[in-house]
Each structure stands twice: as C-alpha cells, then as structure tokens.
Amino acid sequence: HDNYTGTKTLALFLHSLHSGTTFASMGGSCESCHVVMPGTGEWALWDTVKYQILSGIISADASAGEFSFNQTTTIPRDDLFVMDWLYEANDYERYYAIQSGDIEGDPALFDSWEIVVTDLDGVSTTYLLTDLIANVPSKTALITMECIVNQPGAGLINNFEVTGLPIQDVLSYAGIGDEAKAVYVQNFVEGGLYPTAINLDWAEDHDILLGYEIDGQRLRVQDGFPVMLCSGGLHAGNFKKQVWTLTVSKDQAEMDHADTSATANGLVMNQGVFYTQEGQIIPLGEPYTFEGYAFGYGHEIASMEFSLDGGVTWASFATDGTSDQQWVYWYYTFTPQEPGAYVLYVRTISTDGLESIKPTTIMVNAK
C-alpha cells in the first residue's frame, strides 16, 4: 500500500518472478498487473485503481441507505479460521494431527494437562487444568480474533463464544498478589521462543481467558487443545495455543498491540464484506443488504462510513456503545434505482480518530 514506507517484500518477490523470461513467454508484461493512469502517466496497481478507470459505474447517495449492527454474531466452532505457524516442536505435532484428521483432542490429555505458575520470587507451582476449572470460576465471553496479517477486506477473523478461566483469577488462586503487573504466557515448549505478554491492568478491562471450550465444546486440536489463551482486544498472535506456563513480572510489559507491532504496517482499523461476490447481480429496484465486519484491535469503533460515488461523499453511521474486544457486525441496505454497476466503499473510524488506511470495495450489478 502507498501509505506503507517499509520494505515491500511481497512486491519485490512478485517483481522478481515477473522479470524473467518464463513470465514473458506466457505473454506476461507489466500490464498484466499494472495500468498507466490517464492524465498522469504513472504506473498503478490495477486492482487498487480499477474503479477510478472503469466507465459505466453509477453514482448514488449512500446516505439513503439503512444501517444496523450488532456485536453478537459469531462464527461456529467448526468454521473458525486457523493459521499454524510451524516454528516449534508442538506446532509440527499439531499440524501432523490435523493433516491426519485427528482434530478432536484426547480426553486423557485434557485430564492430565498441567499449567505451571511462576511467582515473583521464581518459585513455580504446577496445577492440573481440571483442578483450576474446579476451583476458579469460569466465564463465557464473546471475543474477536483477527490475524495481524489480515489485509483490508480479508477474512482472517473470528468472533466466537469461549468459556475459560480469567487469567487474573487463576493468578489470584495461585497466590499471586497485587505486586505482579504483567504475566508472560508460554505454550507447551521448553524454552519457547514467543511468550505472550499481558499487562494485568489490561486484563481488568478485557476478557483474557484460559479458554477450554468454544460453543460449549472442548477445543479442536487446531484451536490449541486443551487450553488456549484468548486475549480480548488483541490480535491473533496473542491467542497462545496449548498454554503451559504463566510467569509473572513486577514490571509492566510491552504488549503486542496491532498498532505497535512491527508487522502491522499501520493496518489497525479494518473491515470486510461477507457473502456478496464481486460483480454479483442483484435485483433492480429492490432493497439489497450487504453485511460484514469491522474491528479495531483494541480501539473502539465510533462509526462505519459508506460511499456509492467513489469516495467523493461518505454517509456516516454511529456505532455507539461498542466494545473493543468484539467485532462490529454490520448491515447496509440500499435500493438500486437504475440498471448497471454500483461500487460500495466501506471504511471504519475509531473513537480516538483512527481511520482505515484503505476502504473495502465491492461491485454489484443491478438488473
């Protein structure tokens, strides 16, 4: 994206692939992906400017549309997206189980799973997960998990119902006092590389759960059976699978928010359109409803904005009272009055003034 000033690794990779004789022998050229902009002569990526160039697109007043939203729409357990980064031994073991079709965890493993809590003096105590469940009150919450590499309009996002143990209550049960300011959560790897840091004041305002059920069923292997750290308001990298150790610190931690992560590329406010297909034919003169999500990685969403004239004007709809740990699931209905193509632009604004770096766009044809 033009707003990103770092190394455009993917662009360099694709350009290197397309610079050789193999791509040329297939009839490929710069024009396969790019277009020369009329009037300026500058090259642009076709997919980012096509609606500025294509003729015949009808402009309409987006403020005439109807808007509603909720934060309770969920993705069922068996449809949740999963990304398994193969870094450590248990990642490969989990991947092998999934490829073998063994996605429901072994009940014996659930019953024997241990969690180790290490206090400020470095003293470690081991607890059975089942004992913690028996002694620490569980909580059921709705939490959104969005991948840090989810691009504008993409679908690497879930909102799901999880039952688990509030992490601050687990620490309290283990005798950890108020002197502890942060906890480092590690998965089932000796000397693992990537602990997740959670400040305990964040956990007071958000649901940070040791989740052991989704939709009332135990986790699947790909979700991190038997227990996964579910981190309300944070990106999916903070959802640690197969939680093993909790180590507290007297100092605040540098949490990996989306807007501080080196991999976030400034993509904090995001939105997408579900179910409608690009170029889909919709009935002329009848109401048509788009639906989708918006999420802000710990930033509350103040409004959703829609345009039907190429972004010249925007209709803003408030989303008052939303939580920053669940997506905003929105519906926008408009009635096409003329036959032809319409392009819906969607963007998101947070309560602290952040805006989507790129609107989501989708074209439909009324007929």
Condensed to tens digits (0 to 9), the pLDDT of residues 97-122 reads 888 887 888 899 999 999 999 999 99
The two structure tokens encoding residue 293: 């999500």
- Point out the least confidently predicted range of 90-104, 234-248, 292-306, 325-339: 90-104
- What pLDDT score does 337 carry? 96
Most trustworthy range by pLDDT among 5-19, 60-74, 184-198, 352-366: 60-74
Collapse the DSSP code of 129 into the 3-class scheme (helix H, G, I; strand E, B; otherwise coil) and give the result: helix
Kindly indicate the confidence band of residue 282, based on its pLDDT and cuts at 50, 70 and 90: very high
Q: Vertex 195, ends 193 and 199: CA angle to 5°? A: 155
- What pLDDT score does 192 carry? 60
Q: Taking the C-alpha atoms of 38, 44, 49 and 52 in order, what is their torsion angle to the nearest 10 degrees?
A: -10
Condensed to tens digits (0 to 9), the pLDDT of residues 231-273 reads 999 998 899 999 999 999 999 998 877 555 434 445 678 999 9
Please compute the mean of the pLDDT values over residues 114-133 and round it to a whole number: 97
Strands 280-282 vs 360-366: parallel, antiparallel or unpaired? parallel
Give CA–CA dist 354/347, Å, rounded.
11
Contacts of 280 (CB under 8 A, 6+ apart): 364, 365
pTM comes to 0.88
- What pLDDT score does 20 carry? 80
Please compute the mean of the pLDDT values over residues 198-202 and round it to a whole number: 95
Give CA–CA dist 262/256, Å, rounded.
9
The two structure tokens encoding residue 145: 């998990």
Please compute the mean of the pLDDT values over residues 315-324 and round it to a whole number: 96
Condensed to tens digits (0 to 9), the pLDDT of residues 165-190 reads 999 999 999 999 999 999 999 987 66
Query: Nearest CA to 367 among 288, 287, 282, 290?
Result: 282
Please compute the mean of the pLDDT values over residues 339-360 and round it to a whole number: 93
Kindly indicate the confidence band of residue 8, based on its pLDDT and cuts at 50, 70 and 90: low
